[in-house]
């Protein structure tokens, strides 16, 4: 009995020593670091996710104010937090070949729906990125514009039914963007505006939520990456995957059998599947790949999730700020009226001429960046100009939320001030301190599309309505921990007032 106890205690002691062995990782390398404690490391909230990750990072960011970077340990994984804009430029652009991958987790082959552009690494990422980049040119977006306008008209009708009442603008914007992405990514006209419980939308919402089992799985795979290929997917995840794959398969078969062309994302993928390129504007790549139904479904799925969730959050944050700042809202409404009248309607050209709208959305993206941080993994060891070495497989974190709220770069950062992005002022913004879509070769491929649908949603609302705060409007907003993106856990309530 005693021998057994001694063995167990000895094994636990060895486990403990192994676990905390990385807690001195940054000290040995001469890099400032945030102390770690067993078992969570430097930042328990990064594991527990009890509050918004951006708030936790911001506290550490300011404690290391004089330093260009600092180290933390999450569980037992060392991570380098890069603060200095020149170092951020090095990671995202200049030395991109050393930091090409996100290193989130190893993708199991069976988990086909997650083999999309956001998660892929190495040469496969490069090949698909090159193939899909021309999808989001101005020319391609113009061909999709009528599809988005159709959704905007339905959005306007929904808003009219709620005139002069309190609304959850987060929910309404989510319905609009889900309808847009359903149309442009899947070629579906399923009227999510009036059917918010549509299965595709529900799947998308569930995928961005932080749930206990998902947290546990992510934690285990962070410690033991090989487990990602062993741990089974939850049954509902398998069902979701099969649903999306079968949906895409049926849409493709219908189009190919009936010669249907909609000028949307599915058409682009079909072209890739059949011809291996996107036509004259495609870029060449040395990495051949087969565009299978599963791979097509994965790209559609990430387009849907990223497109509707981040864009709806951006719209709702923007409309919330306009409700609190009536002077900014009035100026924006004036510009919208002028540009629509000048172009004889709400056209693609009219939308792109709305300079003040660009400023308002840019400031919203600063104050509420879509994600609180960017993650990269060092794929090849390198030595910094300072002489310090970043070793292969080191995780690098770029704290977007903290950069966007740093008074050194954006004075009075909690103030909503679109003038920061006027033609006179935007050039004074320090490069690589404003990163709402990332930067470099791995920046958000759908940036133009996301901004297009965001602009159209805001303009559609302000054409016929004003927005005002009410007794149920939260001031200020508090970001929540229930989502991987920057979002509130609670509804965003404003009053929708019909314009005379």
What's the CA gap between 323 and 126, in Å, rounded? 42
Q: 416, 386, 181: which is closest to 300 by C-alpha?
A: 181
Q: Is 444 annotated as a binding residue?
A: yes
- List residues bridging with 383 in a β-sheet: 389
Q: Count Cβ neighbours within 10 Å for each residue of 127-151 and write b for 16 or more, e otherwise.
A: bbbbbbbbbbeeebbeebbebbbeb
Q: Which residue matches tokens 């690494």?
A: 121
Whether a cis peptide bond, with omega within 30° of 0, leads into 10 is no
What's the CA gap between 193 and 158, in Å, rounded? 7
* Secondary structure element (H or E) that encloses residue 54, with its range: helix 53-63
What's the CA gap between 495 and 470, in Å, rounded? 6
What's the CA gap between 486 and 492, in Å, rounded? 13
Burial of 245 (0-12, 13-18, 19+ CB in 10 A): buried
Please name the residues in contact with 295: beta carbons below 8 A apart, sequence gap of 6 or more. 112, 115, 128, 289
Q: What distances in angstroms separate CA 73 from CA 23, 35, 39, 181, one per listed residue?
A: 7, 8, 10, 38
Residue 109 φ/ψ, nearest 5 degrees: -60, -35
Please name the residues in contact with 29: beta carbons below 8 A apart, sequence gap of 6 or more. 71, 388, 389
Burial of 36 (0-12, 13-18, 19+ CB in 10 A): buried
What's the CA gap between 77 and 21, in Å, rounded? 10
What's the CA gap between 65 and 69, in Å, rounded? 9
Please name the residues in contact with 55: beta carbons below 8 A apart, sequence gap of 6 or more. 479
Q: Kindly state the tokens that stand for 480.
A: 């929540």
Q: 3-class SS at 57?
A: helix
Binding annotation for heme: 444
Binding annotation: 444
């Amino acid at each position: 009995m005693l021998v057994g106890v001694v063995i167990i205690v000895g094994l636990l002691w060895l486990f403990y020593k192994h676990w905390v062995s990385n807690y001195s990782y940054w000290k040995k390398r001469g890099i400032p670091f945030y102390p770690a404690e067993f078992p969570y490391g430097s930042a328990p909230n990064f594991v527990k996710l009890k509050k918004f990750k951006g708030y936790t990072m911001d506290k550490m960011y300011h404690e290391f104010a004089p330093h260009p970077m600092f180290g933390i340990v999450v569980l037992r994984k060392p991570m380098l937090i890069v603060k200095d804009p020149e170092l951020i430029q090095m990671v995202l652009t200049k030395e991109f070949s050393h930091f090409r991958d996100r290193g989130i987790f190893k993708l199991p082959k069976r988990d086909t729906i997650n083999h999309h552009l956001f998660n892929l690494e190495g040469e496969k990422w490069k090949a698909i990125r090159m193939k899909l980049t021309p999808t989001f040119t101005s020319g391609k977006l113009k061909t999709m514009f009528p599809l988005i306008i159709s959704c905007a008209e339905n959005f306007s009708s929904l808003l009219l039914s709620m005139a002069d009442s309190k609304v959850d603008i987060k929910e309404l914007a989510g319905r609009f963007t889900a309808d847009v992405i359903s149309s442009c990514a899947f070629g579906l006209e399923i009227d999510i505006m009036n059917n918010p419980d549509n299965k595709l939308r529900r799947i998308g919402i569930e995928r961005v939520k932080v749930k206990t089992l998902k947290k546990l799985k992510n934690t285990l795979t962070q410690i033991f990456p090989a487990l990602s290929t062993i741990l089974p997917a939850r049954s509902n995840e398998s069902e979701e995957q099969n649903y999306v794959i079968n949906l895409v398969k049926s849409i493709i078969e219908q189009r190919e059998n009936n010669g249907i062309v909609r000028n949307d994302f599915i058409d682009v993928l079909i072209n890739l599947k059949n011809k291996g390129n996107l036509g004259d504007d495609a870029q060449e790549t040395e990495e051949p790949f087969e565009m299978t139904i599963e791979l097509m479904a994965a790209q559609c799925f990430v387009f849907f999730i990223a497109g509707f969730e981040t864009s709806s959050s951006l719209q709702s944050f923007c409309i919330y700020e306009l409700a609190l700042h009536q002077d900014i809202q009035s100026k924006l409404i004036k510009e919208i009226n002028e540009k629509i009248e000048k172009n004889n309607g709400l056209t693609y050209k009219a939308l792109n001429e709305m300079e003040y709208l660009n400023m308002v959305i840019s400031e919203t993206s600063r104050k509420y960046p879509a994600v609180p941080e960017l993650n990269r993994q060092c794929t090849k060891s390198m030595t910094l100009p300072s002489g310090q070495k970043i070793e292969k497989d080191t995780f690098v974190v770029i704290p977007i939320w903290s950069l966007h709220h740093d008074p050194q770069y954006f004075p009075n950062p909690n103030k909503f001030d679109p003038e920061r992005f006027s033609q006179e002022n935007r050039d004074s913004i320090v490069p690589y301190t404003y990163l709402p879509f990332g930067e470099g070769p791995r920046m958000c491929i759908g940036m133009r599309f996301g901004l297009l649908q965001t602009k159209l949603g805001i303009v559609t609302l302000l054409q016929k309505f004003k927005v005002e705060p009410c007794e149920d409007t939260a001031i200020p907003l508090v970001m929540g921990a229930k989502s991987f993106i920057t979002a509130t856990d609670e509804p965003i309530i404003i009053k929708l007032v019909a314009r005379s």
